[in-house]
Amino acid sequence: MMWAARRVTTVMQAFGAIRILQWADQRAKPWTGKLRSLLVLVLVLAITLTSAGCNPSRFAKASADVPRLVLSVLSDPKTFNPILSQESPNIFGFTFEGLTTTDGVTGETVPALAESWEIEDEGKVLIFTLRDGLRWSDGEPLTVEDVLFTYEVLFNPNIPTNSRDGFRIGTEGRFPEVSQLDDRRVQFTLPEPFAPMLQNTGLNIIPAHILRSSVEDVDAQGNPVFLSTWSTNTPPGQIVGNGPYRITQYVSGERVVFERNPYYWRQSETGTPQPYIDQIVWQIVSSTDTAFFQFRSGGLDSVGVQPDFFSLLKREEERGNFTIYNGGPGMGTNFVAFNLNRASRDGRPLVDPIKSAWFNSVAFRQAVSYAIDRDTMVNNIFQGLGEPQTSPISVPSPFFAPPELGIRTYDFNPDQARELLLGDGFEYNAAGQLLDAEGNWVRFTLITNAGNRIRESIGAQIKNDLEQLGMQVDFQPLAFNALVDRLTDSLEWDAFVLGLTGGLEPNGGANVWLLDGALHAFNQNAGPGQAPLEGWQAADWEKRIAELYIEAAQVIDEDRRFELYKETQRLTQEYLPFIYLINNLSLTAVRNRVQGVQYTALGGALWNIHELSVED
């Protein structure tokens, strides 16, 4: 799993104008069209100039002499190194591939760089055969050596990566042995059967001929140079990949431009090289409002549909020549979490001990969950396009356990929340403020990524809901990259509202639930290259969830795996390391000029990017 960014910056004038447009559309007055056109023109110019530092040329134009797909992204890339990436969206779906990939419609594991595989010895041996003639985007051969190198890097304890946790096998957390059989065959030997292994081989393969020296060399602090290799300061021409596209331009805060990789291996049944679209442009916009206006005025070919914009865009599908795709329940999660970390660094507690005592109280977290009005959140923030979320496992996953199977839910119940708090030693003063047993007023800071209007609205509602319980919530949006650094590096925070990407295979969340997982955010331990922590400890329920994730990966029988993952969901809803909020629908608008879209919540609109084409 990765942190889901969706970073935006709210433009209040644009938001107000959207309301005017919605009001006018609802009334369908004769002058509505003129008013709408005028407002769209003025606002697109105003927002573009504001976002662009008064330089409209910063945005790539949608028209070009080559087939081009123009998209938007709401955050600058944090790295060009796929092994070090912790965020989604990222560039790697365009620029890299693994031995296998996932069919975005069926969810099945299908061949990619490997043309085939064999599974032997009751699942403990997997042999992959690479396609003949594979090349990197610089024209150099892609060989078994590159596969071996990639997994050497992945299993290197001195290199922090989200992906490593998904390969830990058994209680000892052992890794597969990766070996070369011949010029095109690579073998994975497992210490025991491991159900997620085949899907895990979708890991992006990286070039040994470019990166090996950066792994072997160390910097002044003794860390591999690899940790600073392929940062966003690296000239795009130096980034060598194996995916359908390669980067040709990156201007911070403005755009990322991709061009088709002439050495990409895929071709159509008739032998036509793929991909068909010559160029993809990511415009880095300042907000979902800006992206909405860019799409509505024809400047973008696709945009994620925010709940506030759904009804307006739906009415414009035919006139705007686009289609809104509905993939059903989304794959990701939205939640609020408290920092349960009781450790110190250099003698200083990461969390104020007074607050830490509140946060580590199960009754406190359950009271907070009861105090959040999710139905109001669905109606007011998500415009009815979602439902309360009750699990860390994606709703479309076959391992999702609904409340009907005994998974605890927290319907809005302020009285139950107060009862839990009073039973836990809290009390109220004459002013209605919530105090702990020592008389400390319950006050903490809630953070999220700045400008994401959905998350900012969620944070504002949580602030209001918890103030009804006598708590003081200081809501503080931060820049997304700064937020991620705080959650994964300094580890100094009180509470946050954020989300994680999801998938069909729960073991993709092993980096969240293993005790030393790279995204064990609610109680994060120090990672490679970071200053160590003193006094880190895990709760019994926390240890049990980690054990269940290990056991579920060892089991091949799907029914037994379901029961194990059901127990993890029961525990997460009982002890609430993450307090889950709303599962929103997966909605994306795509221009009808884009042909070949097979939209699903799992794959989105671009999972088969190599097959898409554009017609003008």
- Tell me: the pLDDT tens digits for 185-195? 999 999 999 99
Domain 333-585: assigned CATH number: 3.10.105.10
In the predicted structure, residue 8 carries a pLDDT above the cut 90: no
CATH 3.10.105.10-classified regions of the chain: 333-585
Pick the more confident residue, 479 or 99: 99
Cα–Cα distances in angstroms (integers) from residue 172 to residues 49, 191, 551, in the given order: 56, 10, 11
User: What integer best gives the mean pLDDT of the chain?
Assistant: 89
Type of residue numbered 592:
N
Strands 333-338 and 495-500: antiparallel
**Of the options 3.30.1330.60, 3.30.2010.30, 3.30.360.10, 3.40.190.10, the CATH number for the domain spanning 3-93+243-325+587-614:** 3.40.190.10
Tell me how far apart the alpha carbons of residues 596 and 606 are, in angstroms, rounded to a whole number.
Answer: 9
CATH 3.90.76.10-classified regions of the chain: 97-212
- Residue 572 is given by DSSP the state H
Question: What integer is the mean pLDDT of 93-116?
Answer: 97
Identify the pLDDT of residue 61: 43
| Ramachandran quadrant class, 265 (left: phi over 0; alpha: psi -120 to 50; beta: rest) | alpha
Q: What is the percentage of the chain residues whose pLDDT exceeds 90?
A: 80
Tell me how far apart the alpha carbons of residues 426 and 420 are, in angstroms, rounded to a whole number.
Answer: 9
Question: What integer is the mean pLDDT of 49-66?
Answer: 45
- Residue 490 is given by DSSP the state I
Residue 165 is encoded by which pair of tokens?
Answer: 């946790």
Reported as a pLDDT band with limits 50, 70 and 90, residue 5 is low
Cα–Cα distances in angstroms (integers) from residue 18 to residues 36, 309, 382, 479, in the given order: 10, 8, 16, 24
Tell me how far apart the alpha carbons of residues 399 and 562 are, in angstroms, rounded to a whole number.
Answer: 5
In the predicted structure, residue 62 carries a pLDDT above the cut 70: no
Q: Could you tell me which of 359, 510, 367 has the C-alpha nearest to residue 446?
A: 359
Q: At a CB cut-off of 8 Å and minimum separation 6, what does 80 contact?
A: 91, 230, 231, 232, 234, 236, 239, 247
Question: What integer is the mean pLDDT of 370-395?
Answer: 96
Tell me how far apart the alpha carbons of residues 189 and 176 are, in angstroms, rounded to a whole number.
Answer: 5
Choose the weakest-confidence range: 295-309, 323-337, 475-489, 501-515. 475-489
CATH 3.40.190.10-classified regions of the chain: 3-93+243-325+587-614
Identify the pLDDT of residue 88: 79
In the predicted structure, residue 390 carries a pLDDT above the cut 60: yes
pTM of the model: 0.82
**Of the options 3.10.580.10, 3.90.76.10, 2.60.40.420, 3.40.50.1820, the CATH number for the domain spanning 97-212:** 3.90.76.10
